Amino acid sequence: MKLHVLPAGPIQTNAYLLTEPEKGEAVLIDAPGNVWRDVAPILEKEKCKLTELWLTHGHWDHTQGGAEVVRETGAKVRAHLEDRVLIETPEVMERFMGERMNLEPVAVDIWVKQGDTFPALGTDVEVRHVPGHCPGNVLFYFKSLPAAFVGDALFNGSIGRTDLPGGNFDQLERAIREQIFTLPDATVVYPGHGSKTTVAHERANNPYVSG
């Protein structure tokens, strides 16, 4: 499996493209605006078809490019039900972002929840619910790598903001302790913004989360 880190969109949101050239399949995690421009040439070069798009949460900077990706590929979309309003009626976010952005809704095919496991790219993936930055933030955990794609719950040395609608600091802090810090130490954490980190490093050093 290959991992391509593709920061895109107006606030450099990380999209993660996982490809499995042996199976000719690929999965995209999050879809910032215009991410298709970066994804398409990689799929072509590696002769992979994008079968699924997974949204870590419903904030516009993670979903803005989603409708285009689905139109181009027919990828099935997974997301958590608690962010349904954000994903299906993204204009509600223009109110709290304070500008008009012509956001397109994304049609979700499969609603995921805490503890779901499913096969993808020849391995198993586990879903964990990490609310507090936003009600429907989930992580996608690949035990076989090991890696967790955590959206905006946890960053390298920081955590997601909790001042947006549906945010709650205490809930986020607890969810990080219960759902992320319980993953194996060596698990690489891939956040929605900025550089990767590890579970061990954040458990030892993150100033926002009590050990």
CB distance 108 to 84 below 8 Å: yes
Among 76-84, 85-93, 106-114, 146-154, the segment contacting Zn ion (CB under 5 A): 146-154
Cβ closest to Zn ion, residue 39 vs residue 132: 132
Q: Which residues contact 88 (CB under 8 A, 6 or more apart)?
A: 105, 106, 107, 108
Least distance between Zn ion and beta carbon 137 (Å) = 7
Cβ closest to Zn ion, residue 143 vs residue 196: 196
Cβ closest to Zn ion, residue 120 vs residue 132: 132
Specify the amino acid at residue 134.
C
Least distance between Zn ion and beta carbon 59 (Å) = 3
Asked if 82 touches Zn ion (CB under 5 A), the answer is no
Least distance between Zn ion and beta carbon 56 (Å) = 8
Cβ closest to Zn ion, residue 146 vs residue 157: 157
The whole-angstrom separation of Cα 53 and Cα 210 is 33
CB distance 66 to 36 below 8 Å: no
Q: What is the DSSP string of 156-180?
A: TTEE----STT--HHHHHHHIIIII
> What are phi and psi for residue 133, nearest 5 degrees?
-80, -40
Least distance between Zn ion and beta carbon 153 (Å) = 9
Cβ closest to Zn ion, residue 96 vs residue 118: 96
Among 52-60, 72-80, 107-115, 177-185, the segment contacting Zn ion (CB under 5 A): 52-60
The whole-angstrom separation of Cα 159 and Cα 155 is 5
Asked if 83 touches Zn ion (CB under 5 A), the answer is no
| Residue owning tokens 């030892």 | 204
Among 36-44, 81-89, 108-116, 149-157, the segment contacting Zn ion (CB under 5 A): 149-157
Asked if 59 touches Zn ion (CB under 5 A), the answer is yes
Give the SS3 label for residue 74: coil
- What size, in residues, is the chain? 211
CB distance 49 to 20 below 8 Å: no
Among 8-16, 37-45, 59-67, 102-110, the segment contacting Zn ion (CB under 5 A): 59-67
Least distance between Zn ion and beta carbon 133 (Å) = 6
Asked if 152 touches Zn ion (CB under 5 A), the answer is yes
Closest CA to 12 of 53, 62, 48, 77: 62
Cβ closest to Zn ion, residue 82 vs residue 152: 152
Query: Residues interacting with Zn ion, by CB under 5 A?
Result: 59, 152
